[in-house]
Structure 1
Amino acid sequence: MKKTIFLLVLVLSMGIYTGCGKENTEIENSRMEEQTTPENSENDEIHLDDELNIDFTCDYSEDIKEDVDDVVAASTSLQEELTNMEKVTQKYTPLAEAAQTQGEMNVAAHWLYTIWDTELNNLWSRLSSSADRQTKEKLLAEQRNWIDLKEEVTLLNIGSREENGSMYPLLQDSYLEEITKNRAYVLARELAKIKGEDFAMPEVSAKYGTFVDNQETGDIYSSLITRQNWEGTDEAVISIYRQGEMEGSFVDHGNGELSFTSEDGSVKGMIKIDGWNGASFKVTETYGESPFPVGEEVEFPFAF
């Protein structure tokens, strides 16, 4: 009887001290922390669990939060922090690699998106507590606009749930991961300014992207999307407020300038992509009746 009780307690203890997807090492870590001296603490490295227990029914939220917190604590600069975030992504990538069914692929994509969403929230928390009142109000307005815009921008890029069926969660979270990572870099740049740190934004495509004119609101007035379609053809979708929408193809000149021709050939123009600073479109030629006059230039300052 005593042996049975002992085994039961042992099993329960293992359940308490074993997290979803990783072993609990708090006791060992606390002992190591007691032995850590100020000299060697300055050279701390990021130690994430190398092996992930792959379980598609697991809630990794707390694990991801701990990993992000570890990266933030161990990084000596915001530039290093954003670079080190890739280590967290690498840790959870085996989920995507092991996924066999559409449902498992959807789950894996969700957790990869959650990593950057967690980092974004962490950055915002530090920004809001560090910025002066005027800067905070400006950044808060921009962040609220981004939150309001991202759902519509996602719809513009991947289509509706009805169009994509069971693949929709995968496409949605994969795209949200991309734009949330981009937004994290924007907030990190602003926090670096406050802290007096140097910060270099990563290079972005001079060919593909999503850009909007939101008139500093949470609504899209005009939008420009350049992308490669399923057939490998470069295409652009341009929507201009109160004038209409047109789709067409473009030719890349290699310097951020893309020559656009609408599907029906009635409108030609030049798209200029300026990376993180947005993009523009200028109508150069029209044929027949067109709501887009020659010489009209539209700015899309909000880059996703």
Structure 2
Amino acid sequence: MKKAIYLLVLVLSMGIYTGCGKENTEIENSRMEEQTTPENSENDEIHLEDGLKIDFTRDYSENIKEDVDDVVADSTSLQEELTNMEKVTQKYTPLAEAAQTQGEMNVAAQWLYTIWDTELNNLWGRLSSSADRQMKENLLAEQRNWIDLKEEVTLLNIGSREENGSMYPLLQDSYLEEITKNRAYVLARELAKIKEEDFVMPEVSAKYGTFVDNQGTGDIYSSLIIRQNWEGKDEAVISIYRQGEMEGSFVDHGNGELSFTSEDGSVKGMIKIDGWNGASFKVTEIYGEFPFSVGEEFEFPFAF
């Protein structure tokens, strides 16, 4: 079972629901910590549509679109826009706080994900209309690959519907909210380049994350997932060129360098995390059979 399941069971048993599917507090704080400035933090001029009515049978999609449009219109820069988008999330968080049943929690997670999906589509519309032909073609290919990859990446992180039962929609939408928010920042950065605006990407964890090598396609050829397991222990799950999955533990040396040892001790290596630029794994020791050689290094350039 994936760690997210155990975390949510713990959260539900305490009667608390936070509305997000982070692996732990450190990841939640470091992976997408907002880059605010005094100017942004003092900006109280974002006026959203009328207050939220708690109704788990209501379709909020149009309300969310209007709220996102308001943030876009009232923000003076893309940096400010992405920071202010949190106000939309804050508006719909009471849905998660009021949820009592699994079904209501699933519904609340859906709308929180929809906020960032709506912003992502809004950014893409502006980006595709502003980019030159070559840039648009490159971005379109990358965006299509991301869309194709996200289903498989979600499966790798939270498991299947059969494994998770009635909690699956909650786990799925919480994870999709997280990676869609990440992707929104990537598109905002590209649009900022066109608009010649300064844009600072948020800090990401130097210890945890999901990274893949897609060989420029919509399929995963290699994957690296670094996380805490349900017991709170650090673990890494590595698949190289689709030649099986290798799990093991790691020791954090700081600055994104992690020493990896497989469960059976037959393979050791060094993981290096380069934030938004992906990660790599270098084999340092082999004891027994392994399809690769000591010194080989593998790249996982696509960060989720």
- TM tier, smaller: 0.7 to 0.9
Q: Secondary structure at the match of 1:22?
A: coil
Percent identity of the aligned residues? 93
User: Is the 1:20–1:58 Cα contact (8 Å) retained in structure 2?
Assistant: no
RMSD: 13.6
Cα pair distance change 1:167/1:5, threshold 3 Å: closer
Cα pair distance change 1:97/1:5, threshold 3 Å: closer
Shift of 1:112: 0.2
Q: Give the TM-score normalised by structure 2.
A: 0.85
User: Is the 2:145–2:216 Cα contact (8 Å) retained in structure 1?
Assistant: yes
Shift of 1:50: 6.8
Shift of 1:28: 40
**Which structure ranks higher in relative contact order (CA pairs < 8 Å, sequence separation ≥ 6)?**
2
Q: Secondary structure at the match of 1:207?
A: coil
Q: Distance in 2 between matches of 1:74 and 1:144?
A: 30
Q: Secondary structure at the match of 2:32?
A: helix
User: Is the 1:279–1:301 Cα contact (8 Å) retained in structure 2?
Assistant: yes
User: Is the 1:17–1:24 Cα contact (8 Å) retained in structure 2?
Assistant: no
Shift of 1:255: 1.2
Shift of 1:243: 3.2
User: Is the 1:281–1:298 Cα contact (8 Å) retained in structure 2?
Assistant: yes
Cα pair distance change 1:65/1:286, threshold 3 Å: same
Asked whether 1:290 is paired with 2:263, we answer: no
Cα pair distance change 1:77/1:261, threshold 3 Å: same
Shift of 1:242: 4.6
Q: Secondary structure at the match of 1:178?
A: helix
Cα pair distance change 1:255/1:104, threshold 3 Å: same
Cα pair distance change 1:39/1:302, threshold 3 Å: closer
Greater alpha carbon shift after TM alignment, 294-303 vs 46-55:
46-55
Segments of 5+ residues of structure 2 without an aligned counterpart are: none
User: Is the 1:244–1:291 Cα contact (8 Å) retained in structure 2?
Assistant: no
After superposition, the C-alpha distances for 1:32-81 in whole angstroms (9 at most, x for unaligned) are: 99999999999992112573110111100000000000000000000000
After superposition, the C-alpha distances for 1:55-109 in whole angstroms (9 at most, x for unaligned) are: 1111000000000000000000000000000000000001111111111110000
Cα pair distance change 1:134/1:267, threshold 3 Å: same
Q: Secondary structure at the match of 2:34?
A: helix
User: Is the 2:33–2:203 Cα contact (8 Å) retained in structure 1?
Assistant: no
Q: Distance in 2 between matches of 1:2 and 1:259?
A: 22
Greater alpha carbon shift after TM alignment, 35-44 vs 213-222:
35-44
Shift of 1:9: 49
Shift of 1:282: 0.4
Greater alpha carbon shift after TM alignment, 10-19 vs 220-229:
10-19
Cα pair distance change 1:15/1:27, threshold 3 Å: farther
Shift of 1:164: 0.4
Instruction: Mark the structure with the bigger radius of gyration.
Output: 1
User: Is the 1:21–1:53 Cα contact (8 Å) retained in structure 2?
Assistant: no
Q: Give the TM-score normalised by structure 1.
A: 0.85
Segments of 5+ residues of structure 1 without an aligned counterpart are: none
User: Is the 1:237–1:246 Cα contact (8 Å) retained in structure 2?
Assistant: yes
Q: Distance in 1 between matches of 2:76 and 2:50?
A: 22
Cα pair distance change 1:6/1:102, threshold 3 Å: closer
Shift of 1:124: 0.2
Q: Secondary structure at the match of 1:17?
A: coil
Aligned length: 304
Q: Distance in 2 between matches of 1:85 and 1:9?
A: 29
Shift of 1:8: 47
User: Is the 2:75–2:81 Cα contact (8 Å) retained in structure 1?
Assistant: yes
Shift of 1:27: 44
Cα pair distance change 1:52/1:281, threshold 3 Å: same
Shift of 1:230: 1.1
